[in-house]
Chain A
């Protein structure tokens, strides 16, 4: 089912809450703004965030003879989305599954969704280096995966987990496209003083230590979390985040098209 997909990009981070899902959705939206057809697959089974972040919480997945039809964000069908969130009855109910069941679900997401002809498939993952990650990696061996984008926040305690994720990529042979440092500094709206709440520069230093390309930094921006399905590069074009994001996406496109 993935042979009609031109490029596959994994979004990884050892640490939770660093912005994997936010970066995944904004990356998908920015690629869409750039004229590409994009798919977004959310394999965080216990905490799916993509439906909320794209404002698609009331949507359902349909079956067709070929498999599952993903949810489209627009009538042009430029952005297709799949998440376990679409399959749950209530937004409060927990998916209490052990590994083997998660593995089966992830496998089904990778083999049974009709993405159609798309340029990019972005895969958003949960934190860690366990069942979901091993399954994705094993199943992507047969098709060409362009690589992983690693998201981190700057503080040591996050970097520590992200180093483990980089080891995971190296051990399993997934190329790393680069590292993005998110939540990198907060500019006070009153006095414009920049405070590095979670410190700064950690992502860049990590990129140097591990010899992985550094893609850019994204600042802490309370407006960013309220975008809900809108592309930051379109809604907040003058913001630091949008400028940085445009550069990051340009670099990702350049790295995946060679």
Chain B
């Protein structure tokens, strides 16, 4: 699909595809009219086969950007991997325009290799691997200026051609919004058995506003919401230990929103500059600051997620 798609395109799945008056002159008219566009995407079956040996597939979502989706995805994956050496965990970064996983997991300049069984992901630990478009870019300045269909193709490739091996958890980090990447991921994964979605938010209303939309999105595409994690909840001054709400929860915050939207609340994570710096430098918080209260909150959230996954 290109910018020369007619403005009133009835959609390729419509009964009028290729036959509506708006289709006249469209380069895809014959394809639509022949019914080929309606055929089932072969990618669905490929993804299903490729993810057969992945026990839990979890999407990490948030309508809002910058709330900590990538940070929490990385920390959760580390937490799951540290928890039990026999648990195999992987992270797939489908934020095509702004991939952050290579930095946060500390594998910034690694490269992805191709083998007979597909792309080999990059290993952070023996039982923690990651795949991101960041590994495929030549320079940190390279921008991926792609419209939706091209992003869709990339995501399909990530889901069907990465050789993960046997996995217990695959965490999928997404960009903000409710658009192409999210639709592609949910379409492919629903067919392959998606465990559900974890939603990340910060306490202020302007973030909750977008997060409610994301929960609505999950309902519209029938993805189970495993729960909501509140990030950047409180800031404790390292000087005088005063706690401040940096992002004031004017409307009752995340807990109230969870009650209103009838979704489980998984817990709060504080705002800790040390953790932020660790992630910026790609260091492992679990070895750098093992006694931090942040780790404790994170472990609680991890335990809850393991329990939810085991019972679903």
Binding site for B on A (CB under 8 A): 14-18, 21-22, 45-47, 49, 52-53, 91-100, 102-104, 107, 126-131, 133-135, 138, 153, 155-158, 160-161, 163-168, 171-172, 186, 188-191, 193, 195-199, 220, 222, 225-226
Contact = CB atoms under 8 A, between A and B. Distances in A.
Contacts of B183: 96, 98
Interface stretch (B41-49, B75-83, B239-247): B239-247
Nearest to B182: A96
8 contacts: A46-B63, A49-B209, A104-B7, A126-B65, A167-B143, A188-B237, A190-B237, A195-B273
Given A199-B277, A226-B250, A191 B242 contact: yes
B15 interface: no
Contacts of B279: 157
Interface stretch (B30-38, B109-117, B199-207): B199-207
Interface residues of B, number: 72
A93 B261 CA distance: 12
A124 B273 CA distance: 29
B237 A96 contact: no
A53 B239 CA distance: 32
Nearest to B152: A98
A138 B147 CA distance: 13
Interface string B261-272: 100000000010
Given A52-B209, A53-B206, A163-B141, A94 B216 contact: yes
Given A18-B65, A191-B237, A198-B273, 11 more contacts: A49-B209, A94-B63, A95-B178, A127-B66, A130-B151, A131-B179, A134-B147, A155-B280, A190-B237, A197-B276, A198-B276
A130 B147 contact: yes
B290 interface: no
B297 to A, nearest CB: 17
Contacts of B66: 15-18, 127, 153, 158
A127 B216 contact: no
A100 B178 contact: no
B65 A129 contact: no
Contacts of B153: none
Contacts of A45: 179
B145 A168 contact: yes
Candidate in A16, A186, A188 with the most chain B CB atoms within 10 angstroms = A16
Contacts of B65: 15-18, 47, 126-127
B59 to A, nearest CB: 15
Given A21-B206, A100-B5, A197-B273, A127 B217 contact: no
Contacts of A164: 97-98, 141-144
From B148, B177, B245, name the one whose CB has the most chain A CB atoms within 10 angstroms: B177
Contacts of A225: 204, 206, 247-248
Contact of B276 (A133, A155, A165): A155
A156 B280 contact: yes
Contacts of B148: 98-100, 130-131
Contacts of B67: 16-17
A100 B242 CA distance: 49
A94 B280 CA distance: 32
B40 interface: no
A158 B13 CA distance: 38
B175 A128 contact: yes
Contacts of A127: 65-66, 97-98, 175-176
A240 to B, nearest CB: 15
- The 5 A-B residue pairs whose C-beta atoms are closest, nearest first, are A16-B65, A17-B66, A99-B148, A193-B239, A161-B98
Contacts of A198: 273, 276
B136 interface: no
A102 B103 contact: no
A102 B141 CA distance: 26
A49 B206 contact: yes
A98 B97 CA distance: 15
Given A94-B220, A99-B179, A197-B246, A49 B210 contact: yes
B180 interface: yes
Nearest to A158: B66
Nearest to A107: B7
B58 to A, nearest CB: 20
A76 to B, nearest CB: 26
A129 B175 CA distance: 12
A171 B206 contact: no
B182 to A, nearest CB: 8
Residue from the set B65, B209, B237, B248 with the largest chain A CB neighbour count within 10 Å: B65
B100 interface: yes
Nearest to B104: A157
B176 A199 contact: no
Interface in B216-267: 216-217, 220-221, 235, 237-240, 242, 244-248, 250, 261
B242 A188 contact: yes
A134 B216 CA distance: 27
B103 A156 contact: yes
A126 B1 CA distance: 21
